[in-house]
Amino acid sequence: MNILQKISKARTSLSKSELKVADVVLADPNTTIRSSIASLARSAEVSEPTVNRFCRSLDCTGFPDFKLRVAQSLANGTPYVNSNVEPNDTVEDYANKIFEMTMASLEDARSNLDYHLIGRAVDALAQAKKIEFYGLGASASVAIDAQHKFFRLNTPVVAYTDIMMQRMSAAAIGRGDVVVVVSYTGRTIATVEAARLAKEAGATVIGITTPGSPLAQHCSITLGVETAEDTDVYTPAISRLVHLTIVDVLATGVTLRRGPDFLDHLKRVKDSLVETRFSRDIPPSLPN
């Protein structure tokens, strides 16, 4: 995660004075890298020690190190947009902010993807006797989508979005089975407990979550995904779209592992839907 995204994500944990500095930096990062600590403090209407405290809260050694990291983020071409929705935003303002932040987060996730870990996850899923997907809240839709993707791949698969079902199934699972747990924060107690139970039962646990989170500590393989969004205020949408994309990558990887002969099976599944749709050439005949 680049320093600008880190600032955006840290907004809820900053003091009121530090938040003023964050808003000035995010509003115009290009001006920030040309500013002195005194000028930035004046722009944010805070003291210079507050600016230094803000920099250290982001693991920077001081203001010069902070400016260097901001400059590196801009020079590397990592997409950055100010996604903070304001009360006076127009429809065009907030719509563009959401689209731009989503595209930026997808690009950032792609550039930081650990392909070695993706390969390990694909191997585990391709060899699994049974696959289970766990997700709660906004992550529940990701788990259900994953079931929809993976059920065609000739491996028993189920998605659980209920806390009790997750716990019971995790306790009953065994070696050779794979559990994929989806959670943006990785801090939901029920989700972490389900992952712990599944791992203790002998299953391979794959986490699609924030690196270093409590959930990640109970995963055999962690596919780390970080996005700059405030889940304490807004419904997490950006991370959900990134997670859905990760699921597509895993499903495609397993399909390729099955080999070219498996394409006949997928074609039969797809062809089974033909009779459920109106033809493109014939307008539907609807009842009056």
Q: What is the pLDDT of residue 109?
A: 81
Q: What is the C-alpha separation between 185 and 183, in angstroms, rounded?
A: 6
Tens of pLDDT, residues 121-152: 999 999 999 999 999 998 999 999 999 999 99
Helix, strand, coil shares, percent, the chain, to 5: 60, 10, 35
Q: What is the C-alpha separation between 175 and 253, in angstroms, rounded?
A: 22
Answer whether 0.85 is exceeded by the pTM: no
Q: What is the C-alpha separation between 25 and 73, in angstroms, rounded?
A: 13
Tens of pLDDT, residues 50-101: 999 999 999 999 999 999 989 888 876 544 445 566 778 889 887 887 787 7
- The DSSP output letter for 210 is -
